[in-house]
Amino acid sequence: MWSLSSLFTAFSVVFWVLNYKNIPLTPSEEVGNVFRVRTYTTRSPAMECDLNGHKSNSTYFSDLDIARTDLMVDVFRKLILDLKKRDGRWVYIPLGAVASVFRREIKPYASYNIRSKIVGWDDKWLFVVSKFESPQTKKLHAISVTKYVFKMGRKTLPIREALERNGTWSPEIERQGREGMKWVQGIVDLDQIEEMPF
């Protein structure tokens, strides 16, 4: 089950390195802050537009891959590098779920920002919210939630341990992370769809 998603993760990291289509990648707002915001700025090429002449909704997902991988690599850099040094292999950070709300179209060649941040976690899952916004008007085009898990081989690394290993865990941070779960309850509840007979 993980092999496809790890392949996907590996692919997206390679893609992220090779296809750095960012105009400036802004530096972290606060180093050491788990809830820091990372901004990825890009532009909609004509190729991504559909018959209606706006950025095709499916292409939001490949942008999201770049933006949230950038956030995760920035926030968990120490964890990722330390585990690689210790075990000789990369920690996987596969996606458990993604949900998006589309609000306003993006016109061809329009630039937009994707601002991403970690909003919360439970024992196993970590939730990232990404907003697609116009840099000029700050209007919201779309908003997405991504659910992540940390895997070392078959073993799941609890979120608390991931934060501890990166040198950033405290009861106060844990409290804020748990509190942030109120924003993402919708994607948590989505899991119950598996019980629907089909």
Is 57 a residue that touches ligand NAG (CB under 6 A)? Answer: yes
Nearer to ligand NAG, 104 or 160 (CB): 104
* Residue 22 per-residue DSSP state: -
Among positions 26, 27, 77, 179, the unique one binding ligand NAG when judged by CB under 6 A: 77
Nearer to ligand NAG, 21 or 77 (CB): 77
Is residue 106 within 8 Å of residue 45, measured between CB atoms? Answer: no
Stretch that binds ligand NAG, among 4-12, 30-38, 41-49, 83-91 (CB under 6 A): 30-38
**132: Cα separation from own chain's centroid:** 13
User: Which residues within the stretch 172-191 sit at the binding site for ligand NAG (CB under 6 A)?
Assistant: none
Burial of 76 (0-12, 13-18, 19+ CB in 10 A): buried
Is 21 a residue that touches ligand NAG (CB under 6 A)? Answer: no
**Site map (CB under 6 A) of ligand NAG, residues 147-166, x = contact:** -------------------x
Is residue 110 within 8 Å of residue 116, measured between CB atoms? Answer: no
Q: How far apart are CA 181 and CA 12, in angstroms?
A: 26
Q: How far is CA 29 from CA 1, 21, 38, 112, 172, in A?
A: 36, 21, 8, 19, 20
Q: Where are the beta strands (DSSP E) in 13-94?
A: 38-43
Is 59 a residue that touches ligand NAG (CB under 6 A)? Answer: no
Q: How far apart are CA 77 and CA 163, in angstroms?
A: 11
Shortest gap between Cβ of 113 and ligand NAG (angstroms)?
Answer: 16
Is residue 104 within 8 Å of residue 112, measured between CB atoms? Answer: no
Among positions 49, 66, 71, 75, the unique one binding ligand NAG when judged by CB under 6 A: 75
Shortest gap between Cβ of 76 and ligand NAG (angstroms)?
Answer: 6
Among positions 20, 102, 109, 183, the unique one binding ligand NAG when judged by CB under 6 A: 102
Total interface residues for ligand NAG by CB under 6 A = 13
Instruction: Point out which residues bind ligand NAG (CB under 6 A).
Output: 31-32, 34, 57, 75, 77-78, 102-105, 166, 168
